[in-house]
Each structure stands twice: as structure tokens, then as C-alpha cells.
């Protein structure tokens, strides 16, 4: 199942684009081009993940991917990130300094599924992993767990071939549940988030991690497994 989180940026979506000075109009038009290109890279990467999932189902009678979510960063988020890092708001700086403009979240059934998908992505000739952070083996202080990859994805456009980074987050269903609820409790609750809340959420994360491992062990006892 594929879930898209946001739509493309169009020129008419940018406030008062027609009344901007010429150089800013060029920036606005450039943003439309940027989102189109990154959306194309998303399509390539998502399609490849679908192909892998279907292959596993044929070979092992097991689908490692529960569902996939994907999104393009909003214009506001792009601008805010460049400002926080002290960069001028230009198209060149977007290409040079933002690696998570296009993002995919792959929700897997079991822990082994995450690392098998990771091993395939690192071996692909077409894709090149340029960054990897393992928050499963080394969770964040909050308790957050996920495997993050940034992968260079080639796309074919009218001018030739272009390579763009796509961030891929791999996590189990349980990890995704924790991350979604933690975000809701930390940032969207009406009451103040306390240190005690943070401690309880870390304990929940530890408990969920143990459940993930136990579910993995039960599955391994019942089914032959592919090898990474």
C-alpha cells in the first residue's frame, strides 16, 4: 500500500508569485521544477521497492513491506531548513544542502526485513547509498528507532540523466506506531510535555523493541528465511 503525504508545488501555490521581482519569480518557477524532479526520483525509488516486495512474495511467500509512505518537503520547510543552516534561499543551495527533500518511509513487518532491504539497496548498481544512520541499534535519547538511508537515485529527463538524493526510512510497524504517537504526545497535546512523560515513552520504546524481537523469533521458528 502506498500513501502519499503531500502534493506538488505549483507556481499558483506560491503566494503573490506574479507580483514578485524578476529574480524572485525565477526562484518561484525554479521551485516548481525542483519539486517535479524530486517527485520523479521518488517514483523511481518507490517503484523499485514495490518490485522487491513482489519478488520476495514470489520467492519466499512473504511480503517484507507492510506499506510505504512518501512525501515532498513543503516549500515552508525547505526555506526554514536553509535559513536555520545559514544558507541563502537559492535553487543551487536547495540541491546542494537538502538531502531529505524527497522522503520515503518503508514500514516493514519484521526486523530482518529492514536489514535485508538495506543490504539490497547498498548493492544496487543504480542506487548509491551516500549516508546511513542506524537508530535501531543506536536509538535516539527519546527512544526513537529507525534505519535512515540517503540514496542517490538516477532519473531520466529530457536533458539526459540526473541524480538526486532520496531519504529512505526503514522501520517496523511497532516502531512506526511508537514514533507516530510520540510525536502526537510531544508536540500536539494541549498539556505540557514533562520529563516524566519522556521517561515513560523511552520505556515504551524499550518494551516495543523487545516485542519486535519476540515477533521476529516466532516468525523465524515457523518460516524459512531469506539471507541478507
Question: Would you give the DSSP letter of residue 142?
Answer: T
Cα separation, 149 vs 54, in Å, equals 22
Cα separation, 170 vs 174, in Å, equals 12
- For 142, the grid coordinates are 527519546
Cα separation, 68 vs 49, in Å, equals 9
User: Which member of 50, 55, 88, 167 is catalytic?
Assistant: 167
Asked about 182 being catalytic, the answer comes back as no
Cα separation, 34 vs 40, in Å, equals 10
- For 224, the grid coordinates are 524459512
Cα separation, 46 vs 69, in Å, equals 9
| Residue in this structure with the C-alpha cell 535519547, named with its chain if needed | 141
Quick check: 68 and 106 in contact, CB under 8 A? yes
User: What is the side-by-side strand order in the sheet with 147-157?
Assistant: 2-4, 65-72, 102-108, 160-172, 147-157, 128-134
Cα separation, 25 vs 11, in Å, equals 9
Residues with catalytic function: 167
Amino acid at each position: 500500500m502506498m500513501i502519499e503525504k503531500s502534493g506538488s508545488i505549483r507556481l499558483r501555490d506560491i503566494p503573490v508569485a506574479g507580483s514578485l521581482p524578476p529574480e524572485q519569480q525565477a526562484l518561484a518557477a525554479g521551485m516548481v521544477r525542483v519539486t517535479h524532479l524530486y517527485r520523479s526520483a521518488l517514483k523511481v525509488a518507490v517503484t523499485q521497492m514495490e518490485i522487491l516486495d513482489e519478488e520476495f512474495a514470489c520467492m519466499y511467500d512473504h511480503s517484507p513491506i507492510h506499506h510505504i509512505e512518501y512525501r515532498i518537503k513543503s516549500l515552508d520547510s525547505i526555506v526554514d531548513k536553509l535559513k536555520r543552516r545559514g544558507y541563502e534561499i537559492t535553487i543551487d543551495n536547495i540541491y546542494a544542502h537538502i538531502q531529505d527533500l524527497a522522503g520515503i518511509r518503508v514500514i516493514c513487518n519484521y526486523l530482518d526485513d529492514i536489514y535485508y532491504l538495506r543490504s539490497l539497496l547498498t548493492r544496487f548498481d543504480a542506487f548509491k547509498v551516500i549516508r546511513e544512520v542506524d537508530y535501531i541499534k543506536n536509538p535516539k535519547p527519546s527512544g526513537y528507532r529507525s534505519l535512515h538511508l540517503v540514496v542517490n537515485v538516477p532519473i531520466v529527463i529530457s536533458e539526459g540523466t540526473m541524480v538526486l538524493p532520496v531519504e529512505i526510512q526503514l522501520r517496523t510497524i511497532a516502531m512506526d506506531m511508537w514514533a507516530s504517537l510520540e510525536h502526537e504526545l510531544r508536540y500536539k497535546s494541549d498539556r505540557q510535555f514533562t520529563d516524566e512523560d519522556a521517561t515513560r515513552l523511552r520505556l515504551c520504546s524499550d518494551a516495543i523493541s523487545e516485542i519486535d524481537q519476540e515477533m521476529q523469533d516466532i516468525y523465524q521458528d515457523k518460516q524459512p528465511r531469506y539471507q541478507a
